[in-house]
Copies of this chain bind each other. A is one copy, B any other.
Amino acid sequence: MTTRPRVLPGLTAVAALQQLRTASPLVHCITNDVVQSFTANVLLALGASPAMVIDPREAAEFAAIASALLINVGTLTEPQSVAILAAIHAANGAQKPWVLDPVAVGALGWRSAFCRDLLQLRPAAIRGNASEIMALSGLAAAGRGVDSADTSLAALPAAQQLARQTGAVVAVTGEIDYISDGEQQWAVPGGDRLMTRVVGTGCALSAVVAAFVSLPGDRLANVAAACRVMSCAGEQASRQANGPGSFTPAFLDGLYHLDQSQLCAEGQP
C-alpha cells in the first residue's frame, strides 16, 4: 500500500541545500565519457566537490574516502565494470552510500544484466527515466537508449516496486519527477523541455542525488530535494536562455546562486 505522491515543500529543498553547501561532500563519480565535465561543473556550482577516479585499485581506495559514490553506466566497458564493482564494495565496506544511474538499461543487453546484478549491492538511490526504471524493475518497457518513451507517472509503480526490492530510494524523472522509497512518495514538478536538448542534465542530476544522499536526515526527502534543486535551476535557466547553448552557463550560474525565494516559488506548496 502506498500513499499518493505529494509535492515536495520548497523549504525541505532549502534546508537540504543549506546542509549540502556546509558539508561540501566529496562525490566520487564513475560516470560516462560524455558528461564528465558537465557533471563536475554542476557539483562544483552547487558547492560539492567532484572527483573522477577510475582505476580499479584507486577507485576502491577513493570510494572509502569520498562522501558518496555515483555509478553511471552510460559508456560502460569491461574495465570500467571492474572498477565499478571494486568501488561499490569499498563504499559499502566504509558505509558510504552509492547511487545508480542505469543509462539505457532495457535497450542494451550487457548493461541490463550488469545493472540487475548491481541491485544486489544495496544502492542508496537509483535515478533514471521512465524506460530505465521500468526495465530495471522487470516491468516491460521499450526504450531506444537515452530517450524515455514512457512518462514518469506511468513508471511510478515500477519505481515503488524497485524501491521495495532493493531498499533504495528510487527517482523516476521526467516532466514531473517522482521519488519513492516504496511507501512514501514525493512529486517534484518543474524543469523545462529545453533540458532534454542539453546532454547530461539527467546524468548530472544523478551525481547531485549522490551528493544529497551523503547528508544526514531523511533520505527520501534528500533525494527529492536534489531533484527540486535541479528542476528549479533548470526552469529559471530555460526562461533566461535563448536556446540549449546559452542554457548551460545560465544553469550553472543559477545553481551557484540558488536560494530560498527561488526554491519556494512557483508550483510549490
Contacts and interface: CB of A to CB of B under 8 A. Distances in A.
Interface string A175-187: 0000000000000
A44 B109 contact: no
Interface in A214-269: 241-246, 248-257
Nearest to A47: B197
Interface string A182-208: 000000000000001111100000000
A145 to B, nearest CB: 4
A19 interface: no
Contacts of A198: 41, 44
B49 A147 contact: yes
B109 A26 contact: no
A196 B24 CA distance: 13
Interface residues of A, number: 62
A62 B66 CA distance: 34
Contacts of A92: none
Interface string A97-139: 0000000100111110000000000000000000000000000
B44 A244 contact: yes
A83 to B, nearest CB: 9
A29 to B, nearest CB: 9
A85 interface: no
A109 B77 CA distance: 24
A248 B245 contact: yes
Contacts of A255: 245
B51 A104 contact: yes
A112 B66 CA distance: 18
A162 interface: no
